[in-house]
Chains A and B, each alone.
Chain A
């Protein structure tokens, strides 16, 4: 069963604009993670935010977490063509160190 659900499923924006993706989940979590997947490749870990954190930054990435709403957002600022990829959220809902992925958001940066 899917724990996280990303929204939107697909997003196209102009290069230089900001991209925002959202993730909603169902149960209490220990942490939430965001991953990027380029076409035909494995997933790359971007950022992890713990349940007691509200915001985290990494370069052009900003992640927020609202545990009261069971939601997270990933903001990519000043998008580049290289940001074209699928983005997945994943939640760690139990203490057995396994995470459940959402279905992803496909981001396309237009030149």
Chain B
């Protein structure tokens, strides 16, 4: 979607390795979010940010950390990837009137 990009689009990694997903926005929005989407669970919030260096946990934050050193970038790190973290990860930004989502990152942990 225009204004928000995620990288990489696909990644396969081994159990136990660290992985970082990147979300980049050009809209200068304050709020950014990371969700994961799994069959039968819908979208679940991992972490979110309400400003540079201001982040908070969502409902499924264990095993994940985030960083936001610039308004435009929100990084999600899997500190030591596990098979249960195989999922599709979506980043979103909010201007207060609805979210705009990125195209997602499909992560497979083998």
- Range class of the B interface residue count: 20 to 34
Which of A41, A88, A97 is B103 in contact with, Cβ under 8 Å?
A: A41
Residues of A that sit less than 8 Å from B by CB: 1-2, 33, 35, 41-45, 48, 88, 90, 96-104
Is B101 touching A43 in the complex (CB atoms < 8 A)?
yes
Besides A96-B56, A101-B35, A102-B42, 20 new A-B residue pairs in contact (Cβ under 8 A), listed by A number: A2-B42, A33-B99, A41-B103, A42-B1, A42-B90, A42-B101, A42-B104, A43-B43, A43-B90, A43-B92, A43-B99, A44-B1, A48-B98, A90-B99, A96-B50, A97-B50, A98-B33, A98-B45, A98-B58, A101-B42
Which of B45, B100, B101, B102 is A100 in contact with, Cβ under 8 Å?
A: B45
> Is B97 positioned at the interface, with any CB of A under 8 Å from its CB?
yes
Residues of B that sit less than 8 Å from A by CB: 1, 31, 33, 35, 40-45, 48, 50, 56, 58-59, 90, 92, 94, 96-104
Which of A96, A97, A101 is B43 in contact with, Cβ under 8 Å?
A: A101
- CB-CB under 8 A from B98, the residues of chain A are 33, 45, 48
Is A97 touching B94 in the complex (CB atoms < 8 A)?
yes
- CB-CB under 8 A from A88, the residues of chain B are 42-43
- CB-CB under 8 A from A103, the residues of chain B are 40-42
- CB-CB under 8 A from A43, the residues of chain B are 43, 90, 92, 99, 101
Report Cα–Cα, A43/B92, bound state, in Å. 9
Report Cα–Cα, A100/B60, bound state, in Å. 12
The interface residues of chain B, by DSSP majority, are classed as strand
A88 to chain B, nearest CB (A): 7
Report Cα–Cα, A97/B50, bound state, in Å. 9
B95 to chain A, nearest CB (A): 10
Report Cα–Cα, A80/B96, bound state, in Å. 30
B6 to chain A, nearest CB (A): 9
Is B45 touching A42 in the complex (CB atoms < 8 A)?
no
Which of chain B's residues has its CB closest to A98's CB? B48
- CB-CB under 8 A from A104, the residues of chain B are 42
Report Cα–Cα, A5/B90, bound state, in Å. 20
